């Protein structure tokens, strides 16, 4: 028991995390009242045991277990208290909302066809106006407004009804509903600019309001002094964390080269700033009173940087982490970095337990843990005499340590692995540091001496152009990216356990840990075999649910036969979002738009698949004879209800995303007492048939 004492904060945080995960994945295991009663009882029991263990040390283990259980219960209760839908006045409990007042709680994000922003509801109109709470994500059409005029803190009146976010409509599609749920957002609304009216600007301006204004100023400084659009977009991302201006090709290049991490302001950037602050304050270390001064200046400057970035969540995580690191020195905490990291995670999760489900949170802490634990042992494997070689080896070991810790999660979330990450990071990390320092200098010069800002901006732009060139060159190398990797959550955990088992072998220098490695490898192989037998060895027919588009796919043992309208075939982003996830799960390696089992009829296409006949009607026409098909796909409102008498052999009618809501409604109403059923993909999601 004594050997775990130095890791007290680690154990405390792990218990809290266990309770949070229990609250997220098993929220109904205890009702809220029972959970709170249990927590009070555990705290009371822990206090009693603490008094008793002063007389008898034999109670120490029991006291420890009770405290751990109390912390776990605390995590469970926290999740319930921080879940906004549990509040009785949340808009999820209101019906027939026709308008609502809300406060803008984010800067607008530019999307392809709309502006996106979050608002916090204050009251709603049903029959009367009532106080309410909740969050809504708004999508304002760009056809109706060029730029969003509403700022953080503005109170606005919004006409219309917010709708609950729909679950994924296609197999394995990204669960946007679940993603927003972890942000306590359950509703969205697509609207036009005239539906939003400014009520008032904030009478009492809060700290986040000023942070957003400072970020807007910083954004204007960068755009005014860096003229190249791509360089400007990278500068916005690297310095301020604004990523929506980066085009897809450049994003893909950064992903393929393993440099994606520099485009998200997080631990790397804040760590660099903290290291530079300590370097600048190094002369003060000679004075006995300097510890608190250095900590105060460091924390002040770190939070100033967070303020400039608009207090974005990723920066707040990193700044909180390094603020605790800075505080540890003057407080004389003779502890290790693991306790400090755990303490920062504890503080963040206490205020927002759903952060545990954030990809950025998970990757940030894993990367830092990997660097802290693995970098030094890897670095010590090779002693390099020259300073240049030693510097290169240090950067290489940092990259290796971070990649070892995060590669499993990276493959789970992003389905790819950058092969040349070691090479690219030799240049990317120093350049990103230079750009970050130059960007901060640009903001300082603009505030103090505007004439110098243009010169600094030109230097930053030059560095970014070099960075973009290196990234693009790395992407163009052969086999630069292993893509289309599919991992289940279970397999991701097994990969992380595999890495952990190898670390245990080298840490304890004992082969007895090989049994754990063997079990993990066996389990991973078993899951792969099960996945292959369940999915990749089967056949599947899918009619996808994509608004205003038709898309049909036949998948057979790793090969896809894909039929879609010409616009969708050219839309890589929509294909990647709606269709690619299903292909990844089914192990598709080749895709063709030439369907060999297609047969043309008079205005109708027929497909013979798995002993079933599928008919597709795309053009307006009348059917004069009985349609010899088991499944009928209708596009573009092509078939009249007058022809239903010719569908006696059809068992299923599928209406794809090109049909109007009114047309779908008429077919839904007509299906009663008919031999066929109607499946409308806009309402019912993708239509799927599996044939094993």
Between 104-113, 441-450, 594-603, the lowest mean confidence (pLDDT) is in 594-603
Q: Is the pLDDT of residue 197 over 80?
A: yes
> In angstroms, rounded to a whole number, what is the distance separating the alpha carbons of residues 583 and 591?
9
Per-residue confidence band for 267, with pLDDT thresholds at 50, 70 and 90: confident
Is the Cα dihedral 12, 14, 17, 21 positive or negative? negative
Per-residue confidence band for 156, with pLDDT thresholds at 50, 70 and 90: very high
Counting residues of the chain whose pLDDT is more than 70, the rounded percentage is 96
The pLDDT, as a whole number, for residue 57 is 66
Q: Is the pLDDT of residue 414 over 90?
A: no
Average pLDDT, the chain: 87
Segment 528-543, tens digit of pLDDT? 998 888 887 788 999 9
> In angstroms, rounded to a whole number, what is the distance separating the alpha carbons of residues 116 and 655?
30
Q: Is the pLDDT of residue 425 over 90?
A: no
Segment 490-507, tens digit of pLDDT? 999 999 999 999 988 888
* SS3 sequence of 73-124: HHHHHHHHHHCHHHCCCEHHHCCCCCEEEEEECCCCEECCCEEEEEEEEEEE
Q: Please say whether the beta carbons of 218 and 196 come within 8 A.
A: no
> In angstroms, rounded to a whole number, what is the distance separating the alpha carbons of residues 279 and 301?
13
Is the Cα dihedral 374, 380, 382, 385 positive or negative? positive
C-alpha distances in Å from residue 291, one per residue of 30, 319, 456? 47, 19, 33
Segment 336-389, tens digit of pLDDT? 788 888 888 898 899 999 999 988 888 888 888 888 899 999 999 888 888 888
The pLDDT, as a whole number, for residue 690 is 85
Q: Is the pLDDT of residue 460 over 80?
A: yes
Q: Please say whether the beta carbons of 660 and 668 come within 8 A.
A: no
Q: Is the pLDDT of residue 170 over 90?
A: yes
Per-residue confidence band for 511, with pLDDT thresholds at 50, 70 and 90: confident
Phi and psi torsions of 591, nearest 5°: -130, 135
Per-residue confidence band for 1, with pLDDT thresholds at 50, 70 and 90: very low
**Mean pLDDT calculated for residue range 245-265:** 80
Q: Please say whether the beta carbons of 606 and 600 come within 8 A.
A: yes
Segment 6-31, tens digit of pLDDT? 678 889 999 999 999 999 999 989 99
**Residues whose CB is less than 8 angstroms from the CB of residue 384 and which lie 6 or more positions away in sequence, other chains included:** 390, 392, 393
Q: Is the pLDDT of residue 236 over 50?
A: yes
In what order do the strands lie in the sheet containing 559-564? 590-592, 559-564, 551-556, 539-543, 687-691
**Mean pLDDT calculated for residue range 391-406:** 89
Higher pLDDT, 591 or 57: 591
Assign 549 to helix, strand or coil: coil
Segment 525-584, tens digit of pLDDT? 999 998 888 887 788 999 999 999 999 999 988 899 999 999 999 988 899 999 999 999
Between 65-74, 119-128, 224-233, 439-448, the lowest mean confidence (pLDDT) is in 439-448
DSSP 8-state secondary structure symbol assigned to residue 676 = S
Per-residue confidence band for 333, with pLDDT thresholds at 50, 70 and 90: low
C-alpha distances in Å from residue 663, one per residue of 348, 573, 603, 658? 50, 28, 20, 10
C-alpha distances in Å from residue 518, one per residue of 492, 497, 501, 505, 509? 16, 11, 9, 12, 17
**Residues whose CB is less than 8 angstroms from the CB of residue 15 and which lie 6 or more positions away in sequence, other chains included:** 68, 69, 71, 72, 75
Per-residue confidence band for 600, with pLDDT thresholds at 50, 70 and 90: low
The pLDDT, as a whole number, for residue 55 is 61
Token pair 């008793």: residue: 52
The pLDDT, as a whole number, for residue 337 is 80
> In angstroms, rounded to a whole number, what is the distance separating the alpha carbons of residues 507 and 10?
19
The pLDDT, as a whole number, for residue 334 is 58
Higher pLDDT, 605 or 83: 83
Counting residues of the chain whose pLDDT is more than 90, the rounded percentage is 40
State both tokens at 598.
Answer: 């297609």
State both tokens at 675.
Answer: 């031999």
Say how many Å lie between the first and final Cα of the chain, rounded.
53
State both tokens at 168.
Answer: 């994924």
Concatenating the DSSP letter of every residue in 345-388 gives HHHHHHH-GGGGG-HHHHHHHHHHHHHHHHHHHHHTT----SHH
Higher pLDDT, 169 or 314: 169
Helix pair angle (207-225, 290-308), 10° resolution: 70
Q: Please say whether the beta carbons of 664 and 521 come within 8 A.
A: no
Q: Please say whether the beta carbons of 488 and 503 come within 8 A.
A: no
Q: What is the CA radius of gyration of the chain?
A: 29
> In angstroms, rounded to a whole number, what is the distance separating the alpha carbons of residues 39 and 180?
29
C-alpha distances in Å from residue 606, one per residue of 50, 237, 647? 77, 50, 14
The pLDDT, as a whole number, for residue 3 is 46
Per-residue confidence band for 480, with pLDDT thresholds at 50, 70 and 90: confident
As beta bridge partners, residue 198 has: 156
Higher pLDDT, 321 or 685: 685
C-alpha distances in Å from residue 175, one per residue of 140, 166, 168, 655? 22, 9, 5, 23
């Amino acid at each position: 028991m004594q050997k775990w004492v130095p890791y007290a904060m680690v154990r405390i945080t792990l218990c809290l995390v266990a309770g949070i995960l229990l609250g997220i994945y098993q929220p109904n295991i205890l009702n809220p009242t029972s959970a709170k009663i249990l927590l009070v009882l555990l705290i009371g029991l822990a206090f009693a045991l603490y008094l008793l263990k002063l007389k008898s040390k034999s109670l120490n283990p029991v006291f420890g277990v009770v405290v751990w259980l109390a912390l776990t219960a605390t995590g469970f209760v926290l999740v319930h208290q921080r879940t906004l839908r549990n509040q009785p006045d949340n808009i999820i409990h209101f019906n027939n909302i026709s308008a609502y007042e809300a406060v803008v709680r984010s800067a607008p994000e530019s999307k392809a066809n709309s502006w996106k922003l979050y608002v916090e509801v204050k009251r709603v109109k049903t029959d009367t106006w009532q106080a309410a709470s909740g969050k809504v994500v708004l999508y304002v059409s760009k056809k109706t407004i060029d730029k969003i005029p509403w700022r953080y803190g503005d109170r606005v009146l919004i006409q219309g009804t917010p709708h609950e976010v729909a679950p994924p409509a296609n197999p394995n599609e990204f669960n946007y509903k679940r993603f927003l749920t972890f942000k306590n957002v359950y509703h969205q609304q697509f609207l036009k600019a005239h539906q939003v009216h400014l009520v008032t600007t904030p009478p009492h301006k809060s700290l986040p309001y000023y942070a957003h204004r400072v970020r807007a100023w910083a954004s204007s400084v960068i755009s005014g002094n860096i003229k190249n659009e791509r360089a400007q977009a990278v500068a916005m991302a690297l310095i301020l964390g604004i990523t929506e201006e980066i085009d897809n090709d450049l994003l893909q290049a950064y992903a393929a080269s393993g440099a994606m991490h520099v485009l998200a302001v997080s631990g790397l950037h804040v760590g660099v700033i903290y290291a530079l602050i300590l370097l600048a304050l190094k002369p003060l270390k000679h004075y006995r009173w300097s510890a608190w001064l250095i900590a105060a200046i460091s924390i002040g400057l770190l939070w100033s940087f967070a303020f400039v970035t608009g207090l974005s969540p990723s920066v707040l995580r990193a700044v909180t982490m390094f603020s605790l690191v800075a505080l540890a020195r003057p407080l004389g905490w003779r502890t290790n970095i693991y306790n400090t990291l755990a303490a920062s995670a504890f503080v963040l999760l206490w205020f927002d337990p759903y952060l545990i489900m954030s990809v950025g949170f998970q990757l940030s802490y894993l990367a830092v843990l990997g660097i802290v634990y693995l970098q030094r042992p890897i670095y010590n494997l090779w002693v390099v005499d020259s300073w240049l070689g030693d510097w290169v080896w240090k950067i290489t070991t940092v990259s290796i340590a971070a990649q070892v810790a995060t590669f499993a999660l990276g493959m789970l979330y992003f389905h790819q692995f950058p092969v040349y990450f070691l090479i690219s990071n030799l240049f990317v990390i120093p350049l990103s540091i230079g750009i970050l320092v130059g960007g901060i200098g640009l903001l300082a010069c603009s505030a103090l001496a505007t004439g110098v800002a243009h010169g600094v901006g030109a230097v930053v732009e030059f560095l970014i152009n070099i960075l973009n060139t290196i990234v693009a060159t790395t992407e163009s190398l052969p086999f630069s990216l292993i893509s289309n990797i599919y991992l289940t959550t279970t397999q991701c955990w097994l990969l992380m356990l595999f890495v952990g088992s190898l670390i245990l072998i080298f840490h304890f220098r004992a082969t007895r840990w090989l049994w754990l490695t063997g079990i993990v490898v066996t389990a991973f192989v078993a899951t792969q075999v099960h996945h292959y037998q369940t999915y990749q060895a089967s056949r599947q027919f899918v009619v996808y649910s994509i608004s205003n588009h038709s898309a049909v796919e036949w998948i057979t043992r790793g090969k896809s036969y894909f039929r879609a309208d010409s616009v969708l075939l050219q839309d890589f982003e929509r294909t990647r979002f709606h269709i690619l996830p299903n292909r990844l799960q089914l192990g598709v390696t080749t895709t063709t738009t030439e369907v060999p089992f297609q047969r043309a009829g008079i205005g109708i296409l027929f497909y013979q698949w798995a002993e079933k006949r599928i008919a597709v009607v795309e053009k307006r026409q009348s059917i004069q004879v009985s349609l010899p098909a088991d499944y009928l796909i209708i596009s573009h409102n092509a078939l009249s209800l007058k022809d239903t008498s010719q569908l006696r052999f059809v068992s299923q009618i599928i209406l794809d995303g090109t049909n109007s809501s009114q047309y779908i409604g008429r077919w839904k109403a007509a299906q009663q007492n008919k031999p066929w059923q109607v499946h409308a993909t806009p309402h019912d999601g993708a239509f799927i048939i599996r044939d094993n």
